[in-house]
A = this chain, B = another copy of it.
C-alpha cells in the first residue's frame, strides 16, 4: 500500500473524528492520555472485534430475542433501515445519551434513533467489547462492514428504540470517502454486498472457461480495495525466532530476480455454497451460491524460495507459522491478516506463489494488485491480497479474521459454545461439486430423450478429482460424468478445478427432473449426502451433494 493511500485513509478517519458529535469530542478530550488519535484508534480497534462479532448476531437473535423479531412476510419484503425520526418518542441530546455508558444502562444512537440496548448486552456475541460503543453512535462502526446493514439487524436494533436524537446532534457518517477508489467491476458478476464488494461469478461462465477470465473471477473483499503503486511497493519479510527478529524487504523488481513460478489453481471461498447450508438452518455470512470459486494461472515467485533466501530453516517447521498481512485496513486501522503453518510454505509441493500475474496479466486491483500470495488448495482467505508483509513466527496471526473465523465446528456448536481458540483453522478444503449449466429452475430442451449437464468439481490440499457422478433419479442410478477439462498437474499438486459434462436420460413425459451431483477425489473421499450433519455456525465447508430441479421440454 502506498504512503499516499495510507495518508488518505487516515485523513478520512481524522476528518470523521473532527466531525463527530460534541459528545464524542467531549469523550476524547476527557481521555486521560490526552491523545485523541490514540483513543480513537483504541476504540476502533476494539470495536473492530465487535463489528466482526456482529456477524454472529444471527444466532443471538435466534436464541434471545425471537419474540422481538416475529416478522410477517410483508415486513420482510419491505426495505427497512433503523434510525428514522419517530414523532411518538421523546428527544434526547447526545450529551444525555453519552451518560448511559455502563452495563446497567447502555445506550447507543443510529441516525435519528436512540436505543437502550442494556438488555441485549448479555447476548452480544462479541462479549464485553460492545462496551466500547457506550453512549455513542454505532453508525461509523457499521459503515465499513456493509453486511451489518440487513433487515434483520436493523429490526433487532429498532426493537430497542427509546427515542430520537436531537437534530443538532445528528452527524452525517456517510462512508463514501472510503469507497471512492473502488475499481470498476464487470456487470455480469452477481453482487452480494457492495461495500465491501463481494460478488460471485454466474455459473454459466464457470463452465464456459477452464481458466476464468480475470474480470469474471469471483470477488471476496473484507474491506475497501487499497490503491497501491507497484513501482514503490515493497513486501517486508520478518523472521522471528528465540527473541531475535530479522527483517528484509523487497521491491517487486527485487522479487522478480527469484526463479519464476506459475501455478494453475482454483481459489474457493470457505463459504462457497453456503446458501444451501443456510436452507437447513440459518448461518451467518455472505449467502454464496456455487459461484465463490474460479480458476486461474498465478505467476510470480515461490514463497519457499524467498523464505530460504531470508534464512528461514525450512527443515524445522514445527510450531511455526507464516503470517501474511495485506494493505487493506479495517475501521480500527488494523490490516487484514491471516497465517498458514510454516510446514505448508516449506513443502515444495504446496507451490505457494507470491503472484504478480493472473492469467498472464498483471493482477487486477480486486485480486491483489500488485502482489498477492496464492496458497493453492487452501481456502482463498489464506491467499492474502495486496501483500505487504510476511512474518515467520511461533504464533498464528492474531487477527480477528484468523482467530475468530474460518474454523470448523460440528453441527451442535452454537455461537455460545463454540471455542475458536481450540477449533482447527481451515487450511484445506473438502471435495465438492456443482452444476453450472443448467441452473436450478431452468428449463432445458431434451435431445433424443437426454439432457446435457455441465459443472465443476474441486478438492483442496492438492487432491485430484477422480470421478464425478450425477443422478437424475435421486440416487437410484449414477452416471459417470466426462471430464471436460483437467489440468495435468503432478501428484498431490492438483490445485485446479475440474470441469465436467454429463448426459442423463430425460424420458418423454417427464416434465421436471431433480439432479444430484457428487465427486470423488484421489484420496477416495466423496461428498456427504445432506447438509444437516455438516451444518456449522459459520456456514463454511458446505460440500454436500448439489441438488437442482430443472424443467424439461421434449
Contacts and interface: CB of A to CB of B under 8 A. Distances in A.
Contact of A431 (B424, B463, B522, B525): B525
A527 to B, nearest CB: 7
A82 to B, nearest CB: 36
Contacts of A410: 467, 469, 478, 480
Interface in A425-444: 426-431
B475 A343 contact: no
A523 B461 contact: yes
Number of copies: 2
Interface stretch (A8-16, A251-259, A530-538): A530-538
Interface in A499-554: 518, 520-530, 532-534, 541
B467 A533 contact: no
A508 B408 CA distance: 33
Contacts of A534: 526
Interface in A462-489: 463, 466-467, 469, 475, 477-480
A460 interface: yes
A386 to B, nearest CB: 27
Contact of A524 (B428, B466, B491, B524): B428
A349 interface: yes
A426 B524 CA distance: 8
A63 interface: no
Interface string A293-326: 0000000000000000000000001100000000
A523 B478 contact: no
Q: How large is the interface on A (under 10, 10 to 19, 20 to 34, 35 or more residues)?
A: 35 or more
A428 B477 CA distance: 26
A542 to B, nearest CB: 11
A143 interface: no
B533 A530 contact: no
A490 interface: yes
A347 interface: yes
Contacts of A429: 523-524
A492 interface: yes
A207 B347 CA distance: 33
Contacts of A463: 461, 523
A412 to B, nearest CB: 5
A475 B411 CA distance: 9
A6 interface: no
Given A480-B410, A523-B461, A524-B430, A424 B529 contact: no
A225 to B, nearest CB: 29
A429 B526 CA distance: 11
Contact of A341 (B491, B527, B532): B491
Interface of A: 317-318, 341, 343-344, 347, 349, 408, 410-412, 424, 426-431, 459-461, 463, 466-467, 469, 475, 477-480, 490-492, 518, 520-530, 532-534, 541
Given A343-B490, A429-B523, 9 more contacts: A317-B490, A344-B491, A410-B480, A412-B479, A427-B522, A428-B524, A526-B534, A528-B528, A529-B529
22 contacts: A343-B491, A344-B491, A408-B524, A411-B478, A426-B524, A427-B522, A428-B524, A429-B524, A430-B524, A459-B523, A460-B523, A461-B522, A461-B523, A463-B523, A475-B532, A475-B533, A518-B533, A521-B525, A523-B523, A526-B534, A527-B528, A529-B533
